[in-house]
Amino acid sequence: MSANVNTSLPLEYQTEQSRMNILGFWIFLGAEIVLFATLFSVYGVLYKNYAGGPTHQDIFMIKEVMIQTVLLLTSSFTMGVAIWEMRRNNKKGLIGWFILTLLLGAGFLFMEINEFIHYVHEGATMQTSAFLSSLFVLLGTHGAHVTFGIFWATMVIIQIAKRGLTPVTARKTFIIGLYWHFLDVVWIFIFTFVYLKGMVL
């Protein structure tokens, strides 16, 4: 809150309020970890309850999932580059890489929605069985986070464009970066424990 500015730190860490916001966001990510851990446990309890409906092998499309994974992992990399550009105080570079990140995220989302539509066509809806309920909600929660992230990041890009790189816009960008990488980590777990495990076992 106070104007206590420390210019020896990276831009996003310079004010006390920014440092508090970043710490607060880390704690929020802690809560998000619990949230996803709970969803994974629910899936872990229900994932074999097909109730006569389709099983993993019946519906999963491994090629599409691979593409989704590549898109999202790449977007995490471009996000990293964006933050690196921010540290170099290169506004143009930051915005460019940031937009690329969001495009990759949108591509991921597009693929995921198609995947859901495909499932429904196969007769695998959220209401079919406990397995599918838990699958849709786990994937859907992740997808909703990505969607939210895209809209949120768009707001921030507008602010960077209008205001340039200030301690506030830098902090906002940095926090979205954390969020984005977090979603990537969650995806890695989904990929491993939902898709790979579901295909192999």
**Choice between 6 and 49, CB closer to another protein:** 49
Give the nearest distance from C-beta 50 to another protein in angstroms.
7
Angle, CA of 183, 91 and 160, to the nearest 5°: 65
Binders of another protein among 107-136, rule CB under 8 A?
Answer: 126-131, 133-134, 136
Choosing from 30, 57, 120, 185, the residue that interacts with another protein (CB under 8 A) is: 30
Per-residue three-class SS string for the chain = CCCCECCCCCHHHCEHHHHHHHHHHHHHHHHHHHHHHHHHHHHHHHCCCCCCCCCHHHHCCHHHHHHHHHHHHHHHHHHHHHHHHHHCCCHHHHHHHHHHHHHHHHHHHHHHHHHHHHHHHCCCCCCCCHHHHHHHHHHHHHHHHHHHHHHHHHHHHHHHHHHCCCHHHHHHHHHHHHHHHHHHHHHHHHHHHHHHHHHHC
Binders of another protein among 4-23, rule CB under 8 A?
Answer: 16, 19-21, 23
Residue 150 binds another protein, judged by CB under 8 A: no
Residue 194 binds another protein, judged by CB under 8 A: no
Binders of another protein among 53-72, rule CB under 8 A?
Answer: 53
Identify the CA nearest to 137 among candidates 68, 199, 198, 190. 190
Choosing from 5, 6, 9, 27, the residue that interacts with another protein (CB under 8 A) is: 27
Residue 28 binds another protein, judged by CB under 8 A: yes
Binders of another protein among 154-173, rule CB under 8 A?
Answer: 155-156, 159, 168
Beta bridge partners of 5: 15
Piece of the chain touching another protein by CB under 8 A; list 40-48, 74-82, 107-115, 193-201: 40-48
User: How many of the chain's residues bind another protein (CB under 8 A)?
Assistant: 40
Piece of the chain touching another protein by CB under 8 A; list 1-9, 59-67, 68-76, 87-95: 1-9
Residues of the shown chain interacting with another protein in the complex, contacts defined by CB under 8 A: 1-3, 16, 19-21, 23-24, 27-28, 30-32, 34-35, 38-39, 42, 45-46, 49-51, 53, 126-131, 133-134, 136-137, 152, 155-156, 159, 168
